[in-house]
Structure 1
Amino acid sequence: MTDNDDFRLVIVTGMSGSGKTQACRNLEDLGYFCVDNLPPVFIPKFAELCQHSAGRVNKVVLVVDTRSREFFDTFVHVIRQMNEENKPFELLFMEASDEVIIRRYKETRRRHPMAPNSRITEGINMERERLAGVRNKATYIIDTSALLKSELKQKIIRLFGDDYNEQMNINVLSFGFKFGMPLDADIVLDVRFLPNPFYIEKLRHKSGAVPAVAEYIAKWPVTQQFMEKLDDLVNFLIPQYIKEGKSQLVIAIGCTGGMHRSVFIASHLFNLLKNRGYLANLEHRDLMKNDVAEHIQ
């Protein structure tokens, strides 16, 4: 009996160039604590320390491969010992065809760790031979030869994402161009073509969240036509991004000062997304930067 019965240890190994790094990034997104290139001899002790961390570290990924050189020879022995002592772990073996691995190394212009001064094919052959015993003991084997990154992510989620929330997080952000564009925006919409309440004295010092300002912006035909086309665009795009495997999306709506038009359109878009059941957040980045008396009412 351990101090943490929910503890999950995943050991990732396999061929160099097979996608171990990408798999680990996906596992990190699932909340796993990842340690790369750990000598196998340290696995049992490290796992024991994590198990007795009072739940602070209950999902761990250890990457072990031939980069650990002479230390790697103890890997099979360590796995066998952990099995004999009934220590829980899962072994994920990543592989790909020779042709794909060669192409990936050619693209990155990196040397193969098993043959840094020889041909890549020699390194692949040596590594396959050295990994044969480990592959036979794998809990899961993933061949990435024909996988897209999004497809690999879905495989990782199915295998290791026990409590994973697949909903994409959508952040709707209003901003003012005079304060600079948001650097993390995926989609930027410029709404400075809409009628501007700034030129209406009684509306100038009120934000786009105020009903009177919202009514003024919304009453114009150009606004109504734009909102209709925006709704159609969003209804089309969001499912495509989700299908592609995107986990976060930032939609930025900009006007001159980030107080009237962008706030109104961003609020409209946020409500649309919420009504469609998406996980959405709303932020008015520059609203309080405007030197006015009434920001939100």
Structure 2
Amino acid sequence: MTELQNPSDSGADESASTVDLTPVKPVEPELLVVTGMSGAGRSTAANALEDHGWYVIENLPPQMLGTLAELVSRMPAALPKLAVVVDVRGKALFADIRESLNALSAAGVKYRVLFLDSNDDTLVRRFEQGRRPHPLQKDGRILDGIAAERVLLAEMKSQAEMVLDTSDLNVHQLGTAVTELFSESGPVVLSLTVMSFGFKYGLPVDANYVADVRFIPNPHWIPQLRPLTGQDEAVSNFVLKDNGAADFVDRFVHMLEPVLEGYRRENKHYATIAVGCTGGKHRSVAVAIELAKRLGQLPRVTTGIRHRDLGRE
């Protein structure tokens, strides 16, 4: 009779027969709904997402979101990053999008919404340049279609995790903005854009926080500094050496820390901090650069700088 031998008695290397029983963490697919105003750059955003490994489906009727989510849940490894672009061309279909999204939540499917917006003047110009009518204008003007679309999209915009204003962005800059939001491993934890601007050109419509630095002495009145900008060391030193400016930067960063932590808890991945002076050339530029540097030192935060009005007369 053959006697069964205990492997431990055979002299074999015990480690060679060790089986790793650590459970494999299941793949959690990402579902991103991309929507927003017609002409605000949905197609450009879709192309940028594709460049970063997302599987993108454009012009999907909202009623099919549930079917698509079921497919993703069955094949998470095959579609780990899925973006769905939804627009209002089928107005009757789009009216049910909130119900479709609620159904996703009820089924336990996690999703986020990226909303692309732009001001009316920019949208009109883009439609005129493309020589195409707005999908909702019917027999009216382009502005009539834009107004109707804003009403239809108001709830979606208010509940979107990320709102990106593309008014001052060309296709390349929009692609860069989407790139800053998403990487090979998914979205960054929290991406902050620190924007300088001039109050005389209007408030940024996409700012989450606006800081007014017109209390700082204006380099415009110093003849040797007037032709320079806040990007130049001489202007930056003049602005930031003021005790009020240094104290403001310290206090503003400290004030934002719990706000940014709250954004993370609420799964908000993108925010804009706007810093304004009169013309957007000296004080706001210097302070925005310093704020971006300081905020970028916080854990799980990345920062980018945008000078909206630099170069204007």
Q: TM-score, normalised by structure 1?
A: 0.52
Measured after TM superposition, the shift of residue 136 of structure 1 is: 1.2
What is residue 137 of structure 1 aligned with on the other side? 159
Question: Superposed, which structure 2 residues align to 1:75-224 within 5 Å?
Answer: 75-163=97-185
Measured after TM superposition, the shift of residue 82 of structure 1 is: 2.3
**In 2, distance between residues paired with 1:52 and 1:69?**
30
Q: 1:49 aligns with which of 55, 71, 80?
A: 71
8 Å CA contact 1:38–1:68 kept in 2: the answer is no
* Residue type at the aligned position of 1:151: Q
Q: 1:27 aligns with which of 49, 67, 71?
A: 49
* Residue type at the aligned position of 2:185: D
8 Å CA contact 2:69–2:104 kept in 1: the answer is no
Q: 1:61 aligns with which of 83, 103, 112?
A: 83
**In 2, distance between residues paired with 1:46 and 1:82?**
10
**In 2, distance between residues paired with 1:4 and 1:95?**
35
**In 1, distance between residues paired with 2:149 and 2:105?**
24
What is residue 189 of structure 1 aligned with on the other side? none
8 Å CA contact 1:40–1:74 kept in 2: the answer is yes
**In 1, distance between residues paired with 2:73 and 2:131?**
40
Change (3 A) 1:121 1:4: farther
Q: 1:16 aligns with which of 13, 35, 38?
A: 38
Change (3 A) 1:122 1:154: same
Out of 66-75 and 118-127, give the one that drifted further. Answer: 66-75
8 Å CA contact 2:32–2:82 kept in 1: the answer is yes
Q: Percent of aligned positions with the same letter in both sequences?
A: 31
Secondary structure of 1:105's aligned partner? helix
Gaps of 5+ in 1: 165-297
Change (3 A) 1:110 1:6: same
Per-residue displacement from partner, 1:29-80 (whole Å, max 9, x unpaired)? Answer: 1111111111111102102202322512211111111112211111011222
8 Å CA contact 1:44–1:82 kept in 2: the answer is yes
**In 2, distance between residues paired with 1:29 and 1:43?**
23
Asked which structure has the greater CA Rg, the reply is: 1
Change (3 A) 1:4 1:67: farther
Per-residue displacement from partner, 1:152-207 (whole Å, max 9, x unpaired)? Answer: 2222122222438xxxxxxxxxxxxxxxxxxxxxxxxxxxxxxxxxxxxxxxxxxx
* Alignment: residue pair count: 162
Per-residue displacement from partner, 1:214-266 (whole Å, max 9, x unpaired)? Answer: xxxxxxxxxxxxxxxxxxxxxxxxxxxxxxxxxxxxxxxxxxxxxxxxxxxxx
8 Å CA contact 1:4–1:51 kept in 2: the answer is no
**In 2, distance between residues paired with 1:4 and 1:98?**
44
**In 2, distance between residues paired with 1:80 and 1:54?**
21
**In 1, distance between residues paired with 2:166 and 2:146?**
15
Change (3 A) 1:35 1:4: farther
**In 1, distance between residues paired with 2:76 and 2:150?**
39
**In 1, distance between residues paired with 2:167 and 2:153?**
18
8 Å CA contact 1:67–1:113 kept in 2: the answer is yes
RMSD: 1.8
Gaps of 5+ in 2: 1-24, 187-313
**In 1, distance between residues paired with 2:118 and 2:171?**
14
**When you count helix as a share of all residues, which structure comes out higher?**
1
Secondary structure of 2:135's aligned partner? coil
